[in-house]
Amino acid sequence: MRAFIVAALLAAGSLTGGVASAQVVEVANVKYEPALDLAGQKLQLNGAGIRYKFVVKVYTAGLYLTQKGGSTAEVLAAPGPKRIHIQMLRDIDGNELGKLFVKGMEANAPRDEFVKSINGVLKLSEIFASRKQLNSGDNFSVDYVPGLGSTLLLNGKSVMPEPIKEPEFFTALLRIWLGDKPADDNLKDALLGIKKARR
């Protein structure tokens, strides 16, 4: 009986150890859960970091995938749903943010991929332009589900009547942060789980 209790306690200890290893990641006081459910699948946090403009913190970003990806190619090839989650750290004009995203996609996506993304790019620009301003504390996510497309959620609520169906759109969107000319080199490394973003 005593051996059974000891074994049970050891098993419980190893279980708690497993739970403890999946810690919430905190970036600039923004918490990113280690895992989430999307379209019936479990996604894990691949990495999270801060987008800086000069020395100013603009927003945090977190990338969720079904399996870890340590390079841009691995992330883009990862199967299943994906999510990029952004939380603003300062106020920014919605139209300006939309233009920056379009510029980032155009600079990083191969020409044919960008052309196939135009429908989604226009929709994204319209949504941000319709928001006069994104305030510090506002957040948005872009979810991609294979076969359905990409959906934009603003502060947890969908702001699109229907998903952007072209898969190239989400790939081009991720290239803003993971492409050859990323918005922020340190943020790229952080999203790929290579190292924490530091300045």
- In this prediction, residue 4 carries a pLDDT of 42
Residue 21: per-residue pLDDT: 52
Nearest residue to 141 (alpha-carbon basis) of 45, 56, 70, 52: 45
Report the mean per-residue pLDDT for the chain: 88
The whole-angstrom distance between residue 179's C-alpha and the CA centroid of its chain comes to 14
**Domains delineated in the chain:** 24-191 (3.50.70.10)
Per-residue pLDDT of the chain (199 residues; tens, 9 = 90+): 544 443 443 444 444 343 335 799 999 999 999 999 999 999 999 999 999 998 999 999 999 999 999 999 999 999 999 999 999 999 999 989 989 999 999 999 999 999 999 999 999 989 988 888 999 999 999 999 999 999 999 999 999 989 999 999 999 999 999 999 999 999 999 999 996 545 4
Please tell me the distance from the alpha carbon of residue 143 to that of residue 130, in angstroms, as a whole number.
20
